[in-house]
Structure 1
Amino acid sequence: MLKRLWLWLGRLLGRLTLLLLVVGLGGWGIGALYYASKFSGPVSSEEEIPPGEAELTRGIIDDAIRIVEAHRDNTRVLRGAHAKAHGCVRAEVSVLADLPGTLRQGVFRDPGKIWQAWVRFSNGNAYPQFDRVRDARGMAIKLLDVPGEKLLGESEQDFVMFNNSVFFVRDVAEYRSNFAAQAEGNRILAFFPGWDPRSWEIRHLLIALRTLAPAPESPVRTTYNSIAPFKFGPHNIKYRVVPAESGCPAYEPPEQNRDMPNFLRSTLYRQLSLDRVPACFELQVQRQNPEHYMPIEDTSVEWDEDIAPFETVARITIPPQDFDTPEQNLFCDNLSFNPWHALPEHRPIGGINRLRKAVYEALSTYRHERNAAR
């Protein structure tokens, strides 16, 4: 009797498993066909600004200031995102000596040119937390003493990147609803705003989960992406920074105690300040091919690298240095990075970049005024 019961249960579980497998594969197939039809070219090579974007942006700024105030560190106002730095380090950005003519644009117009720069490595959260917590990781680069009129009147050229190739929202409208839900502490509503399944953003939830990754071995041993597109002279491009595999001394960081709150800063300090070993990256661009689905206004879509391969335009070298001092940490905290600190040849494009211009500028002004930074 008991044997027959177990056999019956086994057959039932087997059939249920087979049914779930068939349903899962069917759903995956339908989804693949849907996205293949939806994500097909050609696309526009120009920006397309939807109505109401300015009003949505004002609402996002209000929510961002509310979050910044909620995460105040005693008397200091922190950044609205990437609040925790692993360090700001001096670097040199060298334009390739044999750069092709079509890629000689803006700060890359002179082959062999070497720019002095600051590089800030960070965690993505708006509140400093242990490095072992799953999080986005950021890299911001500021080229110094760049001549020419800038879009925001600064003397620097900034590049702002983080460790995923896509963003978990497509445009300003979705960012507004997603961010508002998170500001209220309703993270589920950020991706499931209502009972209608058509409003659910499961693909974007998966992107967000992939972005919140375990910490890398070191801030200098991971890849960073611009996510949003930019002008590059006549081209539309995305930026990427990858660790250089050649031309830099081989270095294997010692295993870190991941229970320590700041082990990413520790491993960076160990390499640059104690072991005196430089770190190297390549700065690359990916040119849009508008005949394929490489949209400007949707940052949740990855541009196909097989169709549009990345091309190296410069090399970043971070020399050995002592960076972890109270004075430099305060200097790092007061630095502002904005992709609109740029030459017109590198103008940010697309909705998320238009949003960045307003939000970054508003939060930077607010933060510096509240902190009385000079």
Structure 2
Amino acid sequence: MKLDLARKRPSLLGRLWLRLGALLGKLVLILLCVGLIGWGLASAWFAWQHRGPVAVEEQIPADETARTQDIIQTAVRIVDQHREGTRYLRDAHAKAHGCVKAEVQVLAELDPQLRQGVFATPGQTWQALVRLSNGNAYPQFDSIRDARGMAIKLLDVPGRQLLPSESGRREQDFVMFNHPNFFVSDVAEYQQNIGAQADGKKVGAFFPTWNPRSWQIRHLLIALATLSPAPASPTQTTYFSVSPYKFGNANAKFRVLPDPDSCPSYKLPTQNQDLPNFLRSALLQQLSTDRVAACFVLQIQRQDPSRFMPIEDTSIQWKESDSAFETVARMKIPAQDFDTPAQNLACDNQSFNPWFGLEAHRPIGGINRLRKAVYEAVSDYRHRRNAEP
């Protein structure tokens, strides 16, 4: 009997493990509580720091011009690093799935307050060119997580262009990608980020020093969310301008999202996503093989200055609860053939720039001011190197 009781009593080692387990359990619980408290305090601090009202006019830092010139040199270095043979590619969105013709029609029953710029005449139809792309600076397999881009160029747009050097263009461009906010706030952060990436230090882009106060955890999370799995097709995702623009006397951001109800019903056949260019194949399948159009709506989100909707920080997503998106036009990409060597070369040589357009849609904010200089410099450099007009 005494022997049986002894066997049931835990050994010294067993009791030690039980106590250690209990201690570890308490430690994990304490860390969890501390983490939740820290998260709550950080959320409260973020909400306190990021509240309205906000400015409606641009606020330009004194050192922005110098930072911009440094960024241009870095962007040119990236173009040199990522050239394909002897051909020089874009410093971002280098790989196109195709450039396709489209029609953008302003809503016939458009609210008078929304009748601005190219949307001034209800029912008007613009002919357009749309470039669909991956975001990376070097062409890679479509299955790799990446941002996806849509650039829209309205053609034969009358009126004075924003850039005097481009007065003959008669265009209005909208440049977007498939995430509502950007992983940098302003030009200073962009300078540090692109410099680290050009040096091959991807981690350093968000952790520039050992000082935790310099770490950009929130922006890293935005970047990871931006690098999303590929959609089934470029026609099946939503695209955002991310940065703000003038919209008449207001400030606004743009969004384009699929509108399948305005086109014939279509189910895309399953694509082989192991192929490097399956997004181009999906676009070809729908537009060229099955001859089915793709439809979208173009919307704006107007700034409410009483809410936290800043124009100088592109890392902040404007909440729909603060200002809802409003449809101003519908876009239709008709069935067409677009994948020939000549068309693909013309697509590669085409320049899209949010500064190609009218005063009514002037790009605003630091990232857009940066784009004005960088897009022009990189485009000129690329075309000179490629011996293209």
TM range (shorter): over 0.9
Structure 2 Cα separation of the partners of residues 123 and 262 of structure 1: 10
Q: Which residues in structure 2 correspond to 1:279-290 (within 5 Å)?
A: 279-290=294-305
For 1:323, what is the secondary structure of its paired residue? coil
Residues 1:124 and 2:139 are matched in the alignment: no
Structure 1 Cα separation of the partners of residues 69 and 239 of structure 2: 28
Single out whichever of 295-304 and 192-201 deviates more from structure 2: 192-201
Corresponding position of 1:311:
326
Structure 1 Cα separation of the partners of residues 37 and 260 of structure 2: 42
Residues 1:135 and 2:146 are matched in the alignment: yes
Corresponding position of 2:72:
61
Structure 2 Cα separation of the partners of residues 43 and 325 of structure 1: 48
Shift of 1:12: 3.3
Q: 2:115·2:121 contact (CA, 8 Å) conserved in 1?
A: yes
Aligned length, in residue pairs: 374
What stretches of structure 1 move > 6 A for 4+ residues in a row? none
From 241, 249, 274, the counterpart of 2:256: 241
For 2:109, what is the secondary structure of its paired residue? coil
Q: TM-score, normalised by structure 1?
A: 0.98
Q: 2:206·2:215 contact (CA, 8 Å) conserved in 1?
A: yes
Counterpart amino acid of 2:227? L
From 176, 191, 208, the counterpart of 2:191: 176
Identity %: 65
Structure 1 Cα separation of the partners of residues 82 and 288 of structure 2: 31
Q: Which residues in structure 2 correspond to 1:266-277 (within 5 Å)?
A: 266-277=281-292
Counterpart amino acid of 2:92? A
Residues 1:97 and 2:108 are matched in the alignment: yes
Corresponding position of 1:366:
381
Shift of 1:9: 4.3
Structure 1 Cα separation of the partners of residues 96 and 42 of structure 2: 39
Structure 2 Cα separation of the partners of residues 192 and 45 of structure 1: 32
Q: Which has the larger radius of gyration?
A: 2
Corresponding position of 1:278:
293
Corresponding position of 2:358:
343
Residues 1:88 and 2:99 are matched in the alignment: yes
Shift of 1:345: 0.4
Q: 2:154·2:172 contact (CA, 8 Å) conserved in 1?
A: yes
Corresponding position of 1:223:
238
Alpha-carbon RMSD: 1.1
From 165, 183, 197, the counterpart of 2:180: 165
Structure 2 Cα separation of the partners of residues 115 and 285 of structure 1: 17
Residues 1:34 and 2:45 are matched in the alignment: yes
Q: TM-score, normalised by structure 2?
A: 0.94
Shift of 1:17: 2.5
Corresponding position of 1:291:
306
Structure 2 Cα separation of the partners of residues 170 and 322 of structure 1: 40
Q: Which runs of 5+ in 1 are unaligned?
A: none
Corresponding position of 2:221:
206
